[in-house]
C-alpha cells in the first residue's frame, strides 16, 4: 500500500486503461505491408496469435511493423523475446528504411482507418472496466493525466467513445516527444508548493518505464505501480515483486485498496 495519498494521478494508456492488442496487430500488419511495399493482403494464419505474447517487448510504435517483418523473415519467438528491441534496426536498414518512416506508416494507417471506418477501428479496442470506473471518479476529484506513447488524438477518440471526456491538456501523448519521467518531472514542478513536493501515483505496464522513473533522484515522491494486467512478462512482474519502490498491482487491488476513497 502506498503510504501517501496522491495529489496527482498519471496513467499509461495501452495495457493499463485500454487493451488494444487486436487493433495493434491489425495496424501493425497494414503498416508492415505499406512500409515493405507489399500489396494489401490478409496476414498469414497464426501470425496474430504469435504476435500477442511478444507485444510486451515492443517499446515504441515504429517497432510494430518491424517485428512483423522479423517474424516473416523467420526470426523465432525466443529470439525476439530475448533480443528485442536491439534486433529491430537491421530489419529496417536492410531495406534502407528508418524508424521515422516506420512510425509514419503506423500513424498513416491509423489515421486512414479512423477517417474511413471509425466504427470498425474503435471496435478493436477493449477497455479494462475497473479502470474506466476509476477514471470516471478520479477526473474532477484530482488532476488526472494520461501519459502515453500513443498519439493524444487517438486516446481522446477512444475515451470519448466510452463516455469519458478529458480536457486535451490532460492527455500527454506521443506528440510530447519526451520520456515519461520528463513529463512526470514537469507535473511534479507544476503541482508542488515550496517545501511540499506533490505526490504523484503513476500506473504503467512497462517495467522499464518505471525503472527509468526510479533512476531519477528528484522523482522520489512519484509512487510507481506496475499493472499486472497489461503487456508485461512474468520476468517483469518478478522484478516488481523484488523491488521495494515498484508496487505490483492487480485489477482487484486497484479498486479495493487504492481507489476505495473515490
Q: Verify binding: residue 23, Mg ion, rule CB under 5 A.
A: no
Least Å distance, CB 170 to Mg ion, is 17
Which of 186, 175, 232 has the alpha carbon at shortest distance from 209?
A: 232
What is the dihedral angle through the alpha carbons of 4, 9, 10, 12, rounded to the nearest 10 degrees?
Answer: 100
Judged by CB under 5 A, how many residues of this single chain contact Mg ion?
A: 4
Q: 234 exposed, middle or buried (CB, 10 Å; 0-12, 13-18, 19+)?
A: exposed
Name the residue with the smallest CB distance to Mg ion: 15
180-191 and 207-214 helices, crossing angle to 10°: 50
Q: Verify binding: residue 228, Mg ion, rule CB under 5 A.
A: no
Least Å distance, CB 188 to Mg ion, is 21
Q: Verify binding: residue 19, Mg ion, rule CB under 5 A.
A: no
Candidate ranges 80-88, 171-179, 204-212, 232-240; the one touching Mg ion (CB under 5 A): 204-212
Q: Verify binding: residue 14, Mg ion, rule CB under 5 A.
A: yes
Q: Which of 6, 7, 9, 15 binds Mg ion (CB under 5 A)?
A: 15
Least Å distance, CB 60 to Mg ion, is 11
Q: Both ends of the chain: CA-CA distance in Å? A: 16
249 torsion bin: left (phi>0), alpha (psi -120 to 50), beta (else): beta
**Residues 36 to 95 in contact with Mg ion, rule: CB under 5 A:** none
Candidate ranges 33-41, 74-82, 205-213, 218-226; the one touching Mg ion (CB under 5 A): 205-213
Q: Could you tell me which residues come within 8 angstroms of residue 205 by beta carbon, excluding any fewer than 6 positions away? A: 12, 14, 15, 16, 226, 227, 229, 230, 231, 232
Q: Verify binding: residue 205, Mg ion, rule CB under 5 A.
A: yes
Q: Verify binding: residue 12, Mg ion, rule CB under 5 A.
A: yes
Least Å distance, CB 230 to Mg ion, is 6
63-72 and 99-116 helices, crossing angle to 10°: 100
Judged by the rule CB under 5 A, the positions of this chain that interact with Mg ion are 12, 14-15, 205
Amino acid at each position: 500500500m502506498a503510504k501517501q495519498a496522491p495529489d496527482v494521478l498519471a496513467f499509461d494508456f495501452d495495457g493499463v486503461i485500454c487493451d488494444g492488442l487486436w487493433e495493434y496487430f491489425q495496424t501493425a500488419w497494414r503498416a508492415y505491408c505499406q512500409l515493405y511495399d507489399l500489396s494489401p493482403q490478409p496476414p498469414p494464419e497464426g501470425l496474430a496469435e504469435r504476435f500477442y505474447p511478444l507485444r510486451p517487448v515492443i517499446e515504441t510504435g515504429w517497432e510494430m511493423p518491424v517485428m512483423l517483418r522479423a517474424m516473416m523473415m523467420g526470426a523465432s519467438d525466443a529470439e525476439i523475446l530475448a533480443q528485442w528491441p536491439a534486433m529491430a534496426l537491421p530489419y529496417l536498414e536492410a531495406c534502407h528504411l528508418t524508424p521515422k518512416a516506420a512510425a509514419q506508416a503506423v500513424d498513416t494507417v491509423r489515421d486512414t482507418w479512423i477517417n474511413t471506418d471509425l466504427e470498425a477501428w474503435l471496435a478493436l479496442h477493449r477497455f479494462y472496466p475497473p479502470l474506466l470506473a476509476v477514471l470516471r471518479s478520479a477526473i474532477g476529484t484530482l488532476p488526472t493525466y494520461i501519459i502515453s506513447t500513443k498519439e493524444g488524438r487517438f486516446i481522446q477518440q477512444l475515451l470519448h467513445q466510452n463516455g469519458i471526456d478529458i480536457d486535451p491538456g490532460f492527455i500527454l501523448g506521443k506528440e510530447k516527444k519526451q520520456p515519461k519521467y520528463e513529463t512526470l518531472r514537469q507535473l511534479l514542478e507544476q503541482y508542488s508548493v515550496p517545501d511540499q513536493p506533490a505526490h504523484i501515483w503513476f500506473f504503467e505496464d512497462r517495467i522499464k518505464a518505471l525503472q527509468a522513473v526510479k533512476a531519477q533522484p528528484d522523482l522520489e515522491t512519484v509512487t510507481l505501480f506496475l499493472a499486472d494486467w497489461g503487456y508485461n512478462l512474468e520476468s517483469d512482474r518478478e522484478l516488481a515483486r523484488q523491488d521495494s519502490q515498484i508496487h505490483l498491482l492487480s485489477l482487484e487491488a486497484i479498486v479495493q485498496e487504492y481507489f476505495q476513497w473515490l
